[in-house]
Structure 1
Amino acid sequence: MTDHDPEQPYAGLTPHAVLDALDAAGLRGDGRILQLNSYENRVFQVHLEESLDPGAAQPPIVVAKFYRDGRWSDAQILEEHHFALELAAAEVPAVPPLVLQPPVDLPAGQPVATLTGQPPTLARVGGWRFGVSPRCGGRAPELDQPETLEWIGRFLARLHLVGRQRPFEHRLTLDGSRAARAAVAWLIDGDVLPPDALGGWHSACLRALDAVDTRFERHGPLELMRLHGDCHAGNLLWTGSGPHFVDLDDAVNGPAVQDLWMLLGGERHEMQAQLGALLDGYETLREFDRRELALIEPLRTLRLIGHSAWIARRWADPAFPIAFPSFESPSYWAQQTMQLHEQIEAMQDEPLVA
C-alpha cells in the first residue's frame, strides 16, 4: 500500500504533505495547521479556506487523522467511521467523519475507500490513509462529581443501544485472553525483555491470563456489542451541552463494562461510589448485567499486558523512546511483574458492587 519506511512511518508527513492531501480530497487549508497529541496515528488541526457551511461566520476548523500503516485494515477503519455516523444519526454525541471527494490532481491519488452503502470517509493520497472530522472542543469531565458520572452513564447507555444493533464484522472482539496471549508470545519470541526480567514477567503473565480466563468462563456467555473500547477521561470531552467522544480508534466488540471501568479510580470505596453513579445514569436507559463487574480486573489485566506489547511494536518510531524512556530497563519490567501479581490478587478478591 505504501513505500514508507517502517522504521520512520511518518517521516514524510510534513505540514505541506498534510495540506496537499487534504486539498486533494476537497478540503483546502489556509496554511494554519497544528499537530495534536497522538502516539499511534498522526492528528492535525487544520483551518480551511472556505466554510463547509455557507451560513457559518468563520471558516471551519477540521481534524485530520493520518492512520498508521499495518494497524487497521481499510475495512476496520471504515467500520469505525460507520459506527460514528450511526451514533450521530441517533443524536448520540460522537464526532462523525466528513464525507470526502475522490482525490484528484495528484499522481498518487486513489479513490476514497468505502463500505457498501456508506459514504466515502477514508482517503488515500501519496500512500497516506486519512479521515477528517469537524473540530469539536471541550474540557475534561469532572469525574469526582456524581452528577457528571450519572450524565456519562446515560451517554454510554445511548451509545450501547446503538452498538448492540449489529456487531462489527472486521474489528477485534474482546472476550478473553486470546489476543493478550498472542502479544505475550510475540514479546518472548522477539527478545524484547531484559534476560534477567524475562522469567518472572512471563510466569506472572501466564498466571494472570489463566485467572482472566477463569473469570470469563465463570461469567458464561457474554452479550457482545460495538463499544467505544478506550473510554477514559482523555477521550471524553465536556461542553455546555454535556459529554462527547472524540476518538473511536479502539472500537471493538465486547461487554458493556469495558466502557465503564476506565472511568473509575482511587481506593475501592471510591470506585464503588463512582460505579454507583455511572450505573444510576446508565440504567435509566438500559439494563446493565451486573455480573460483568467481575470482569473489571480481568479487563484491566489485558490492558496492562497489551500496553507493553503496543510500546514494543512501536519502538522503532522515534516518538516512543522519547515518551517511554525506561521501557528497555529492568526496572520497567520489574514494575510490570509487580503489577501483574497485584492483578492476580485482585482477580481473587470479590468484584466491585454498586
Structure 2
Amino acid sequence: MNLDYAELDPGRVLDALDTVGLRGDGRLLQLNSYENRVFLVHLEDGAAVVAKFYRPARWSNEQLLEEHRFALDLQADEVPLAAPLPLQACGASLLGEPPTLAQWQGLRFCAAPRQGGRAPELEDLEVLEVLGRFIARIHRVGRQREFTHRPRWAGRSPGDLAVEAVRASGCLPYELEGRWHGMVERCLQAVQQAFGAQPGLRTQRLHGDCHPGNLLWTPGGGAHFVDLDDAVTGPAVQDLWMLLSGDPAQAQQQLRALLAGYEQVLDFDRRELTLIEPLRTLRMIHHSGWIAKRWDDPAFPIAFPWFGTPNYWLDQVAKLAEQLEAMQDAPPAPPPKDDDDFVNFDGDGFA
C-alpha cells in the first residue's frame, strides 16, 4: 500500500520510524516546512530526532543521496550540520552507503539528530565574519567532489524551469501573460550574459539556499545549517548574497565582514560579485515558479493568497524591471582583494 503524502499523520510517522529502528515514545511535533513534512520526534531511548518526509517527485533518489553524501562529507570534516543518521532495515527499504534514505509505503524519509539554536544576529559584523568562515568551510568540502544529479545555478536554466511551471499552472492571468513573459525573457537574457561575461568561474557544491531562516546560531557554538535540501552546483557567492540586507552602505559593510571571514579559510574570486544581481533575479523568478508548481497543495493557497492575482503579477513585472536595470548598471568585475574599494557599488547592487 502506498500512502498519500497528505495522509501522513502522527501515527504513520511513528510507524515509519519503527521500520528504520527508531522507536518513538509518542511525543512529536510538526515543524514548519512548506516543501517537506518535518517532525520533531522523541524516542524511547531519550534522544530526539528530526524526521523529514520528502515531497514526492521533487527529487530523484540519486539527488537525495547526493544531498546526504554532502552532509556526511561535511560531518566528516567536523563542519557543524545535522547530517542524516544511518538507518536500520526493520521493514523499510534503505538506500545509500551508509543507508540514510528510507522508502516505506511510497514515502521517502530520513532522520537527523535534533539541533537547537536561534537566528543569527546579522547586524553584528563579528557574527558575519564567523559566518563567512563557516560558509568557507562548507565550500572547502564542497570542492572535494562534484554533484552529478543536483541542479546547477550557473546560468538561466533555473529561470526557464520556473517559466515552464508558471505556464503549466494556469495561475498567470491571460491579459498579463505577454508582459510577464516578455520581462522574464529580458531578465534571463541578462542573467545569461552576466555569467557568460565571467569565463572560467569555479562552480561547486553549495548549500544553495543560504538565507537567515536556514541558519541556527548557538552562543559559544557558532552556526549550523538546518539541512541541505536545496543543495546545488553554482558559484560561491550564491551562499553569501542572501545574508546581505539594509541600504547599500550597510550591505557593503556586511559583505566586507563575510569575505574577511571567508578568506581566512578559502580563496574567493571577486568576479563573482558581479553575479549578485543576476542570482537575485533568478531567485525571484524561481520563487514564482515554485509557488505555481505547488499550487495544488492546499497549504499554498492559504500561505500565499495573493499569488495568481493581477496585482501579484503586475508587482512582479515592476520588480523584475528594477532587477533588469540593476543588472544592466552592474559594475565591472571588481579589482583584487588588496584594493580597499573593491565593493564600491553605486547603490543598486543591494536593494
Question: Do they fold alike, i.e. is TM over 0.5?
Answer: yes
Structure 1 counterpart of 2:32, which letter?
N
| 2:148 matched residue in structure 1 | 169
Deviation at 1:188, TM superposition (A): 2.7
- Give the length in aligned residue pairs: 333
Mapped pair 1:18 → 2:13 = yes
| 1:151 matched residue in structure 2 | 130
The answer (yes or no) to whether the contact 1:204–1:337 under 8 Å persists in 2 is yes
Work out which of the residue numbers 139, 157, 175 in structure 2 matches 1:178: 157
Aligned-residue CA RMSD in angstroms? Answer: 1.3
Structure 1 counterpart of 2:26, which letter?
G
| 1:74 matched residue in structure 2 | 61
Mapped pair 1:344 → 2:321 = no
Q: Within 2, Cα distance between the matches of 1:98 and 1:190?
A: 37
Q: Within 1, Cα distance between the matches of 2:44 and 2:329?
A: 58
| 1:42 matched residue in structure 2 | 37
Q: Within 1, Cα distance between the matches of 2:240 and 2:48?
A: 31
Deviation at 1:190, TM superposition (A): 4.4
| 2:349 matched residue in structure 1 | none
- What's the % identity of the aligned pairs? 59
Work out which of the residue numbers 110, 113, 130 in structure 1 matches 2:95: 113
SS at match of 2:213: helix
Deviation at 1:4, TM superposition (A): 5.0
The answer (yes or no) to whether the contact 2:161–2:289 under 8 Å persists in 1 is no
Q: Within 2, Cα distance between the matches of 1:182 and 1:129?
A: 24
Deviation at 1:197, TM superposition (A): 1.8
The answer (yes or no) to whether the contact 1:99–1:121 under 8 Å persists in 2 is yes
Q: Within 1, Cα distance between the matches of 2:162 and 2:128?
A: 33
Structure 1 counterpart of 2:18, which letter?
D
Deviation at 1:326, TM superposition (A): 0.6
Deviation at 1:191, TM superposition (A): 3.1
Deviation at 1:222, TM superposition (A): 2.0
Deviations 1:150-205 (A, max 9, x none): 00000011111100011111111111002312321342354330112211111110
Work out which of the residue numbers 291, 294, 301 in structure 2 matches 1:314: 294
| 1:277 matched residue in structure 2 | 257
Q: Select between 205-214 and 173-182 the one with higher mean Cα deviation.
A: 173-182
Deviations 1:286-329 (A, max 9, x none): 11000000000000111101111110111110100000001121
Q: Within 1, Cα distance between the matches of 2:163 and 2:294?
A: 15
Structure 1 counterpart of 2:249, which letter?
H
Q: Within 2, Cα distance between the matches of 1:254 and 1:140?
A: 25
Mapped pair 1:61 → 2:48 = yes
Deviations 1:28-75 (A, max 9, x none): 00000100000010000000001xxxxxxxx11110000001110111
The answer (yes or no) to whether the contact 1:103–1:112 under 8 Å persists in 2 is no
Structure 2: which 5+ residue stretches go unaligned? 335-341, 344-351
Q: Aligned runs of 1:203-214 on 2, under 5 Å?
A: 203-214=182-193
Distance 1:244 1:325, change over 3 A: same
Work out which of the residue numbers 217, 240, 249 in structure 2 matches 1:238: 217
Work out which of the residue numbers 289, 295, 301 in structure 1 matches 2:269: 289
Mapped pair 1:332 → 2:327 = no
Structure 2 counterpart of 1:33, which letter?
L
Structure 1: which 5+ residue stretches go unaligned? 51-58
Q: Within 1, Cα distance between the matches of 2:60 and 2:167?
A: 26
The answer (yes or no) to whether the contact 2:169–2:293 under 8 Å persists in 1 is no
Structure 2 counterpart of 1:73, which letter?
S
Q: Select between 291-300 and 196-205 the one with higher mean Cα deviation.
A: 196-205
The answer (yes or no) to whether the contact 1:103–1:125 under 8 Å persists in 2 is no
Deviations 1:77-119 (A, max 9, x none): 1111111111011011111110001132xxxx4x2011xxx20
SS at match of 1:63: strand
The answer (yes or no) to whether the contact 2:165–2:292 under 8 Å persists in 1 is no
Mapped pair 1:247 → 2:236 = no
Deviations 1:267-290 (A, max 9, x none): 111111110000000011111000
Deviation at 1:3, TM superposition (A): 4.7
